[in-house]
Chain A
């Protein structure tokens, strides 16, 4: 009996260590929002999700994978594309968001239309301008593939693909995309220090930007109108499309600023190519409207030197180990 208990204890310690190894909460981060108990991470499930992420099998004609619009070297967004192109070179209406620290996000997409990471992948899979398929078609193709039958067997001890398993595995891979090792983090952990310019930029950032781009994740989970005039062609009302509430007109989810160096162009429609354009918008370009964020009602005043300092600080949010991490790349 005693022996039995010891073996059990060892097993639990081992299992705990594996989960720890697959997902660690960085010491300067809060607890994640995602409920891991409903989808416990395993190496095989993450590998299956990672394989799916890079596989155009998710699209109707096997041409578009998640990676097309979410490349690792661009912090998992579509570099140099204001609006991404999907199946048959269709152009969407929004800039593809960078993917990182998704376990801390309460909702997904620029308008928060998706409330749970598991269900996020359904949107691009079925959007006619993105992958143009359906989850049913995807599951059917996966079940017909020997490679995937093996991967599903390894992950679930059952080779049959289902919608639930497919989505949960894609979510597992996305959950592992944690970026918390930028110079900023090293400064917070007292391993490095800011230059004088970065330090001044940090102070200016805290004063002018941090109420929405809140540390340490650099987003606050809210939807705000940041004073961009509506594009007359795209006519995108943002969050209002989801809630049908006028008070949400022109509001979009506050994005994280981590890895912003890699994730240009900026804003929900990618209208700004450079960080200097973004800062000039906040000081000189605010378009007044009823739903404008209260923080922007009063003009932000920055000298050009101060803007340079803020940009220098923003560059400390670049996490090279994240964008070049081989475990996030195409699985060999």
Chain B
């Protein structure tokens, strides 16, 4: 549960997204790349929110790079397991492709039936490639805490007008960009 500035309550039923291709950099030089790193972060599952990287104690870094979503090569690379297994509910079946970010819930001002909002954001083909590259600066040494401030997203859109999105389209790209701006290292 979360309250918008206009006083309306937003209730979340689902919030899941993919983080992939994690890289650590020191002054723009890559010092660590996590191999085959695809992580499904599920807000309802706290264990999924911790990502452990196997790097040397001495490795110094001051930048973190990652993708919000799944790259196009992986999208066309065939059946995958683990967090990428299609049973995770993050894959479109009739028009293939991973869903990068899935958020569902209700808010009284939503125009859809039952006041639902549904944002299934994905798409890997031009011009609707919704993958977002994110780079954050950090001063921490070991545990790096990355925050997704969903408030910024709901400030950027107007829930009273926003229609549900469940396919690759221009709007999915725009909303993905809004989401990319919600990540920060406090």
Contact of B96 with A163 in the complex, beta carbons under 8 Å: no
Contact of B81 with A162 in the complex, beta carbons under 8 Å: yes
* Contact indicator per residue, chain B 88-121, by CB within 8 Å of chain A (1) or not (0): 1101011110000000000000000000000000
User: A117 contacts which chain B residues (CB < 8 A)?
Assistant: 78
The CB with the most chain A CB atoms within 10 A, among B80, B128, B169, is that of B80
Instruction: Count residues on chain B whose CB falls below 8 Å from chain A CBs.
Output: 21
How far does the alpha carbon of A241 sit from the alpha carbon of B91 in the complex, in Å?
18
Contact of B75 with A115 in the complex, beta carbons under 8 Å: yes
B79 at the interface (CB under 8 A from A): yes
A244 at the interface (CB under 8 A from B): yes
B148 at the interface (CB under 8 A from A): no
B46 at the interface (CB under 8 A from A): no
Q: Which of A7-15, A81-89, A122-130, A209-217 contacts B (4 or more CB under 8 A)?
A: A122-130
User: B75 contacts which chain A residues (CB < 8 A)?
Assistant: 115
User: A35 contacts which chain B residues (CB < 8 A)?
Assistant: 77-78
User: B88 contacts which chain A residues (CB < 8 A)?
Assistant: 163
Contact of B77 with A38 in the complex, beta carbons under 8 Å: yes
B142 at the interface (CB under 8 A from A): no
How far does the alpha carbon of A167 sit from the alpha carbon of B94 in the complex, in Å?
15
User: B164 contacts which chain A residues (CB < 8 A)?
Assistant: none
Contact of B128 with A244 in the complex, beta carbons under 8 Å: yes
Residues in A25-39 with C-beta less than 8 Å from chain B: 35, 38-39
> Which applies to chain A's interface (DSSP): helix, strand, loop or mixed?
helix
Contact of B87 with A168 in the complex, beta carbons under 8 Å: no
A126 touching B78 in the complex, CB below 8 Å, given contacts A135-B86, A135-B87:
no
Instruction: Count residues on chain A whose CB falls below 8 Å from chain B CBs.
Output: 29
Contact of A113 with B96 in the complex, beta carbons under 8 Å: yes
A115 touching B96 in the complex, CB below 8 Å, given contacts A39-B78, A167-B79:
yes
How far does the alpha carbon of A104 sit from the alpha carbon of B76 in the complex, in Å?
15
Contact of B85 with A162 in the complex, beta carbons under 8 Å: yes
B174 at the interface (CB under 8 A from A): no
* Contact indicator per residue, chain A 103-114, by CB within 8 Å of chain B (1) or not (0): 000000000011
Contact of A122 with B76 in the complex, beta carbons under 8 Å: no
How far does the alpha carbon of A136 sit from the alpha carbon of B91 in the complex, in Å?
12
User: A237 contacts which chain B residues (CB < 8 A)?
Assistant: none
Contact of B85 with A164 in the complex, beta carbons under 8 Å: yes
How far does the alpha carbon of A135 sit from the alpha carbon of B87 in the complex, in Å?
6
A119 touching B86 in the complex, CB below 8 Å, given contacts A38-B78, A162-B81, A168-B78:
yes
How far does the alpha carbon of A164 sit from the alpha carbon of B81 in the complex, in Å?
5
Contact of A164 with B86 in the complex, beta carbons under 8 Å: yes
Among A114, A125, A163, A242, point to the contact of B85 (Cβ < 8 A).
A163
Among A115, A116, A136, A168, point to the contact of B89 (Cβ < 8 A).
A136
B125 at the interface (CB under 8 A from A): yes
Question: How distant is B118 from chain A, measured CB to nearest CB, in Å?
Answer: 17
Contact of B76 with A171 in the complex, beta carbons under 8 Å: no
Question: How distant is B34 from chain A, measured CB to nearest CB, in Å?
Answer: 20
Contact of A116 with B93 in the complex, beta carbons under 8 Å: no
How far does the alpha carbon of A35 sit from the alpha carbon of B128 in the complex, in Å?
26
Contact of B79 with A126 in the complex, beta carbons under 8 Å: no
CB nearest to B86 among chain A residues: A163
Contact of B87 with A119 in the complex, beta carbons under 8 Å: no
Among A116, A126, A167, point to the contact of B77 (Cβ < 8 A).
A116
How far does the alpha carbon of A327 sit from the alpha carbon of B87 in the complex, in Å?
30
* Contact indicator per residue, chain A 140-173, by CB within 8 Å of chain B (1) or not (0): 0000000000000000000000111101100100
Q: Which 5 A-B pairs have the closest CB atoms?
A: A118-B79, A118-B78, A163-B87, A164-B81, A167-B79
Chain A residues close to B by CB (< 8 Å): 35, 38-39, 113-119, 122-123, 125-127, 135-136, 139, 162-165, 167-168, 171, 241-244
Beyond the given A113-B96, A117-B78, A135-B86, please list 16 additional residue pairs across the A-B interface where CB-CB is below 8 A: A113-B94, A115-B76, A116-B79, A119-B91, A127-B93, A135-B87, A136-B87, A163-B79, A163-B81, A163-B85, A164-B79, A164-B85, A165-B79, A167-B86, A168-B78, A244-B169
